Amino acid sequence: MQVGILLFDDVELLDMAGPYEVFTTASRVHARTQTAGADPLFTVTTLARSLAPVRARAGLQLTPDMTLADHPPLDCALVPGGAVTAELRQPQTLAWIAAQRQSARMLASVCTGSLLLAQAGVLDGLAATTHWEDLDELRALRPAVRVQGGVRWVDEGAVVTSAGISAGIDMSLHLVERLHSRDLARRTARQMDYDWQDAA
């Protein structure tokens, strides 16, 4: 399965690194029960508008693997948050998100990534969450979104949104459960020495 994680300038590092760690660790844990040389369960790539390095919010420089215009079809398209003001005005990013809503099996966001999903119009009529500090901003940005606080993530089937920063880890473990099994999600959390908050 293909997992694509969006990168952009001022992305919050843990918003992308949490899901990246969950899906790549799930693959590694899963491989232990497979014959050597079997295909990985998840192939995780980072995607951006261009292949130029981006700077995470606090400065770390990350180099994307592929561009939004040229990547394999995704089973899971993942949109992290961070300081998203500039990205909210990027038509290419918003068009990509809207396209993933049609083509990817799942579209998920972490933290203020849900503002990007809302701006792209893919949350209209759905329940969604974001960082506790930004719930009102999400409501104001797109009144058609049914904003929920006090949850780790909201699963609307094809679209899943998580609360702030570290909640992306809990949501990603939930996505591993949906895409494979609860057993693998639990073993992945154990491998990450992580106390999975597995009640949505």
Residues lying near a second copy in the complex (CB under 8 A): 12-14, 17-18, 20-21, 24-25, 27, 44, 46, 53, 57-63, 65, 111, 131-133, 163-167, 169, 191-195, 197
Beta carbons within 10 angstroms of residue 34's beta carbon: 11
Catalytic member of 3, 76, 111, 185 = 111
Is residue 160 within 8 Å of 175, Cβ to Cβ? yes
Active site residue 111: yes
Least gap, CB of 161 to a second copy (angstroms): 13
Q: With respect to a second copy, which residue has the nearer C-beta, 42 or 94?
A: 42
Tokens of 123: 């949350």
Least gap, CB of 20 to a second copy (angstroms): 6
Tokens of 169: 């880890």
Least gap, CB of 41 to a second copy (angstroms): 13
Q: With respect to a second copy, which residue has the nearer C-beta, 120 or 184?
A: 184
Is residue 180 within 8 Å of 105, Cβ to Cβ? no
Least gap, CB of 28 to a second copy (angstroms): 8
Is residue 152 within 8 Å of 167, Cβ to Cβ? yes
Is residue 121 within 8 Å of 72, Cβ to Cβ? no
Residues 6+ apart with CB under 8 A from 185: 26, 173, 174, 176, 177, 196, 198
Beta carbons within 10 angstroms of residue 7's beta carbon: 21
Beta carbons within 10 angstroms of residue 44's beta carbon: 21
Q: With respect to a second copy, which residue has the nearer C-beta, 101 or 187?
A: 187
Bridge partners of 78? Answer: 5, 108
Q: With respect to a second copy, which residue has the nearer C-beta, 65 or 156?
A: 65
Please identify every residue annotated as catalytic: 111
